[in-house]
Amino acid sequence: MIRAMEGQRLRIHPTCCTWLIALGLGVATPWTAAAETSSSTGSTSRSDLSRTSQDHTTPSATHQESPPTAPPESAVTIHDLLGIGKNQAVTSSAKPSGDEPLAGYIFGVPVSVGNYYFAKRVSYTFPRPWEEGLSAADRERAIWEALILHYESFRRDVTVSEEELTKRIDSVLKDQQQSFTKAKDPAAYATWVKEKVGEEVELFENQMRYLFQIDKLKDQVRAAAAVTVSEEEMQQEFLNEQHHVGGEMVTYETREQAQAFYERVKGPAEWEAMKAKGDPKVRPVSLMTLEAYMDLWGIPKEQIYAFHALPLGSVGPPMPFGKQWCVYRLLDKRIGDLADFPKQRDAYHQKIKTKKQYEALKQWIEDLKTSAQLKVLPLKP
């Protein structure tokens, strides 16, 4: 368990817990004057997000406290436990009582140490797929991003009903291959929570509510993003998935190494002579779409399309391949036919629209973090 949480429930003051559901109470409380002063409206417009921060402190520069050496033994990853993989979740607090230390400020609103530790516990107990193996500094950034998102969900009046929460928990139980539901067998449910996560039901459900609340915020922002999709974009995406290349390659750590190798073997005869010597090792590569090379391996579109256009048997110039560089010989390929595109047009329109909406969401989050004017305070030992 996270240090300062071990063996105890987080202490939240109900009279000053504003834009969250109090851990010990499970109920929402009104905004305080301090929170209202920091934001004159219940939602944030795009223009609000364009403000630049004058007091932005990166978490890694202030919170030097060591994170847990490992997540709790009962930790469950979000994609395993929740079956959702697109969002992050948090809790936070505005205007703690005078004697409670502060962890920082977002939007000019104080965040209590207690709520910072709650968010930290959620991050370690329910890590998102991309949070696995994060450095301490990156973990801090993720925690504070989540706190900011939760605060914004409150400002936008994003809520999670009991019915929604119950459905989410029941889907969790089903994903975990449990035969009971929360309502039909509360005792079995409570036992499962205790054994699986090491928590009481009330805390677990508050954590699930926060996770869901952030999910809903992100889903709303993404769905509202106005994006356009052109005919050319749809046809290009279609060809990206219909064009394939395959053959064999040699990889190197640097571009210079790959370029030197290419100069020696850029002719088919030279390549075959190199293979006959058995050094360096040549890797066979099955047919894959150009989309896969661009998305998974980071090969620029222009380079992979130029390689696809080469005659079979050609050796292409060096291309980036993940963190390495490759020299690729083209031995097999497929060519997409735009005549097949019309019957799949709607599917490609939706695919590109969704991709652009996620890109818009990512930019919105970055703008929101800038507008939050995050200030992180040193934690006392």
- Confidence at residue 150, expressed as pLDDT on a 0 to 100 scale: 95
Place of tokens 């088919």: 268
pLDDT digits (tens, 9 = 90+) for 254-306: 999 999 999 999 999 999 999 999 889 999 999 999 999 999 999 999 999 99
Largest CA distance in the chain: 80
Residue ranges per structural domain of the chain: 33-226+361-376, 244-335
Place of tokens 């109900």: 14
Cα dihedral 96→218→2→171 (10° resolution): 120
Which residues make beta-bridge pairs with 315?
329
- Confidence at residue 131, expressed as pLDDT on a 0 to 100 scale: 79
Helices within 82-181 (DSSP H only): 113-125, 136-155, 162-175
Inform me whether the pLDDT recorded for 1 exceeds 70: no
* Reported pTM: 0.68
Inform me whether the pLDDT recorded for 69 exceeds 60: no
> Distance of alpha carbon 30 from its chain centroid, rounded?
30
Strands (E), the chain: 102-106, 109-112, 244-252, 283-289, 319-321, 324-334, 375-376
Q: Which residues contact 277 (CB under 8 A, 6 or more apart)?
A: none
Residue with the larger pLDDT of the pair 8 and 128: 128
Share of the chain above pLDDT 70, in %: 74
pLDDT class for 98, splitting at 50, 70, 90? low
Q: Which residues contact 49 (CB under 8 A, 6 or more apart)?
A: 364, 367, 368, 370, 371
- By the 8 A CB rule, do 245 and 332 touch? yes
> For residue 110, which phi and psi values (nearest 5 degrees)?
-70, 145
Inform me whether the pLDDT recorded for 73 exceeds 80: no
Angle, helices 201-224 vs 345-371, to 10°: value is: 110
Inform me whether the pLDDT recorded for 233 exceeds 90: yes
pLDDT class for 231, splitting at 50, 70, 90? very high
Q: Which residues contact 257 (CB under 8 A, 6 or more apart)?
A: 325
pLDDT digits (tens, 9 = 90+) for 161-199: 999 999 999 999 999 999 999 999 999 999 999 999 899
Place of tokens 């006392």: 380
Among candidates 149, 203, 156, 164, which has minimal Cα distance to 21? Answer: 203
Residue with the larger pLDDT of the pair 119 and 8: 119
> For residue 288, which phi and psi values (nearest 5 degrees)?
-140, 155
Inform me whether the pLDDT recorded for 74 exceeds 60: no
- Confidence at residue 35, expressed as pLDDT on a 0 to 100 scale: 38
Residue with the larger pLDDT of the pair 92 and 328: 328
Q: Is the alpha carbon torsion for 362, 149, 99, 72 positive or negative? A: negative
Burial string for 221-237 (b: 16+ CB within 10 Å, else e) reads bbeebeeebeeebbeeb
Among 120-124, 128-132, 257-261, which is the least confidently predicted range? Answer: 128-132
- Confidence at residue 52, expressed as pLDDT on a 0 to 100 scale: 28
Q: How many residues does the chain have?
A: 381
pLDDT digits (tens, 9 = 90+) for 9-64: 322 222 223 344 333 223 232 223 233 333 333 333 332 322 223 333 434 434 54
Among candidates 28, 37, 41, 270, which has minimal Cα distance to 160? Answer: 28
